[in-house]
Amino acid sequence: MPARNLSIILLAAGEGTRMKSMRPKVLHEVAHRPMVVHVAAAAHEAGSDALAIVVGPGREDVVAAVRAVVPGATGFTQYDRLGTAHAVLAARAAIAAASDDIIIAFGDTPLVTADTFRRLRTPLAAGAVAVVAAFEAANPTGYGRVLREGDRVVAVREDKDANPQEKRVTLCNGGLMALAASQALPLLDAIGNANAKGEYYLTDVVEIAAQRGLRVAAVTVDEADIMGVNSRAQLADAEAVMQRRLRSAAMEEGATLVAPETVFFAHDTRLSADTWVGPHVVFGPGVSIETGVEIHAFSHLAGCTVARGARIGPFARIRPKSRIGADVHVGNFVEVNRTALQTKVEANHLAYLGDATIGEGTNVGAGTITCNFDGADKHPTVIGKHVFVGSNVTLVAPLKIGDEVLIAAGSTVTADVPDSAMVFGRAQQVVKPERGKARIRDNRIKRAARKAKGG
Ligand code: UD1
Ligand code: CA
């Protein structure tokens, strides 16, 4: 069988009224990715060659977000919001250009999967002209009902237009629909707006096709897959489902999650087999972890790579543009920002390492700070291999420290240090014999006198 082409029409012209946001609804994020981009990515994964997105006037930002994952996506504008069929026809040129399968999806269903798209196509290959994504709803109120006669799908009746008998139907329309390209325009152009909402309903395609003796199929989908987000609470529900999926996928890949329900992923987090993740770890976008890495409780990582055998946390923060080398230890209350730690670097406690490159085997003492920001600009700190940075060292960037340097505790280092040197950047210690004991006695006497006076 020759491969069939897939064209996706993504509807995203509806503004979410209940989000109370300056941002268009479909750009709200789930697992750090806009909802509409999740849908586009699933379509792309399902093998779509062509993706058209229908947006409201002035919503180039929505088109641009989709283009970030599907560069060839084309944007269409629906100027008046006259219903789902009207929205689809805003992309008339894309429908006319489609050769085989068309899937219409909504931009506010971030949980839809590539598998659902694939399953909707199957009946098209077998001769159906339209396929609805159906599910058994616990509460069908608000959904279109899928009406059947025998095993034929004859109509989808919108909730507001349904008679009492139709309202009792619990098989509902999930919203996603597949159409055969050859029949799409004749069917869509036949849709009118004589209904309860005065809208052009995409779902009327079903009744029109059935009346023309064309075959319509229903594919049963998971209700979670087609869940639409209309409010902040539903956004949180979608996030919860997505997090469960991401946790399962990570464990499927061989990562141990000690307390999976406390670990939060971004859509693109990549763990490897034998990554170990303790409780309460949060991943921002762009994290990739190699095998054998341990990430202990309460660590936060974003935009970084962590090489094999490294140990992160507890209570570590790795910020974007950081590279953590093999067998590195980053301990509690250590912040790493735009910094590369090469193999076996240890920064075990209380440090800020920003805009730095730290060479293999170097030990960073507690309280070490790179002063990378002078109030106007950021500057780099480059530290060589096998350096010993004592505790509470202040490294004033720009700064270059050679290999095998020893920096004494408490130093403020402001000038470059050559290989093999030892550097002291602190005041000389002064010792006054007996002076301490005398002061302590004086103080004790003063306090006793004050107390006797009733002070
Ligand atoms: C739609 C279905 C309904 C189904 C339900 C599932 C129709 C007529 N009804 O109803 O059978 O049970 O989804 O959630 O299709 N949109 C536009 N322009 C418009 C109208 C809508 O772009 O003029 C977009 C919206 O942004 C949204 C999607 O189409 O993403 C669905 O529109 P909505 O009005 O929410 O349809 P429902 O009433 O939920
Ligand atoms: Ca809806």
- Output 164-172 pairs: Cβ under 8 A, ≥24 positions apart: 167/140, 169/140, 169/145, 170/136, 170/137, 170/140, 171/134, 171/135, 171/136, 171/137, 171/145, 171/146, 171/218, 172/134, 172/135, 172/136, 172/137, 172/140, 172/143, 172/144, 172/145, 172/146
Closest CA to 304 of 340, 342, 253: 340
Shortest-distance atom of ligand 1 to CA 144: 11
Minimum-distance ligand 1 atom for the alpha carbon of 86 = 23
* Cα separations in angstroms, 73 against 76, 242, 248, 267, 274: 10, 25, 31, 21, 38
Which ligand 1 atom is nearest residue 156's CA?
A: 11
Phi, psi of 395 (to 5 degrees): -105, 105
The yes-or-no answer on residue 32 being catalytic is no
Number of C-beta neighbours around residue 412 at 10 A:
13
Tokens in use for 419?
A: 């290989």
**Ligand 1 atom 1: residue of nearest CA:** 175
**pLDDT of amino acid 3:** 84
Listed residue (381, 378, 341) closest to 363, CA to CA:
341
- Relative to beta strand 152-157, strand 130-136 is unpaired
Out of 18, 77, 106, give the residue to mutate to test ligand 1, the one with the largest number of ligand atoms within 8 Å of its CB: 106
- Taking the CA of residue 392 as centre, how many other CA atoms within 13 Å lie in the half-sphere pointing to its CB? 4
Q: What's residue 14's pLDDT?
A: 77
Indicate the length of the chain as a whole number. Answer: 455
Which of 32, 267, 349, 386 is catalytic? The answer is: 349
What residue ranges of the chain have pLDDT lower than 70? Answer: 1-2, 15-17
**In contact, 283 and 302? CB cutoff 8 Å:** yes
Answer whether 372's CB lies under 8 Å from 386's CB: no
CA–centroid distance, 99 to ligand 1, in Å, is 25
Distance 174 CA to ligand 2 centre (A): 9
For residues 62 and 44, what is the distance between their CA atoms, to the nearest angstrom? 17
305-316 pLDDT, tens per residue?
Answer: 999 999 999 999
* Amino acid at the residue 221: V
- Using the 8-state DSSP alphabet, how is residue 431 labeled? -
Distance (Å) from CA 59 to ligand 1 centroid: 18
Name the closest ligand to CA 198: 1
**Residue located nearest, by CA, to atom 30 of ligand 1:** 106
Q: Judging by DSSP bridges, how do beta strands 256-257 and 288-289 pair with one another?
A: unpaired
Which residue among 26, 27, 28, 84 has the greatest number of ligand 1 atoms within 8 angstroms of its CB, and so is best to mutate? Answer: 84
Contact in structure between 167 and 56 (CB atoms under 8 Å): no
Ligand 1 centroid – CA 84 distance (Å): 6
85 CA to middle of ligand 2, Å?
A: 14
Residues with CB under 6 A from ligand 1: 11-14, 54, 78, 81-84, 86-87, 106-108, 143-144, 156, 158, 172-175, 201-203, 228
CA neighbours within 13 Å on the CB side: how many for 146? Answer: 25
Question: Dihedral sign, CA of 205, 210, 213, 217?
Answer: positive
Residue 127 has a CB neighbour count (10 Å cut-off) of 10
Helix/strand/coil for 248 = helix
Rounded to two decimals, what is the model's pTM?
0.93
Q: Which residues are 104's β-sheet partners?
A: 9, 177
Q: What one-letter code names the amino acid at 384?
A: G
Q: What is the pLDDT of residues 299-342, one digit of tens each?
A: 999 999 999 999 999 999 999 999 999 999 999 999 999 999 99
The residue whose C-alpha atom lies closest to atom 3 belonging to ligand 1 is: 144
Q: Which tokens go with 257?
A: 């999650």
* Least distant ligand from the CA of 156: 1
C-alpha distances (whole Å) from 52 to each of 6, 106, 181 are 11, 12, 14
- The answer to whether 203 and 156 are in contact (CB under 8 A) is yes
Residue 243's nearest CA partner among 217, 300, 281 is: 281
Per the structure block, which two tokens stand in for 304?
């970084």
- Where is 271: in which H helix or E strand? none
Per-residue DSSP letter, 168: T
- The protein residue with its alpha carbon nearest to ligand 1, atom 35, reads 14
Can you tell me which atom of ligand 1 is nearest the CA of 174? 6
Distance 108 CA to ligand 1 centre (A): 10
With H, G, I as helix, E, B as strand and everything else as coil, classify residue 388: strand
Report the C-alpha gap between 416 and 408 in whole angstroms. 15
Count the Cβ atoms, other than its own, within 10 Å of residue 279.
Answer: 15
Question: In the prediction, which pLDDT does 18 show?
Answer: 82
Give the HSE-up count for residue 413: Cα atoms under 13 Å, Cβ half-sphere.
33
Strand 294-295 with 256-257, pairing: unpaired
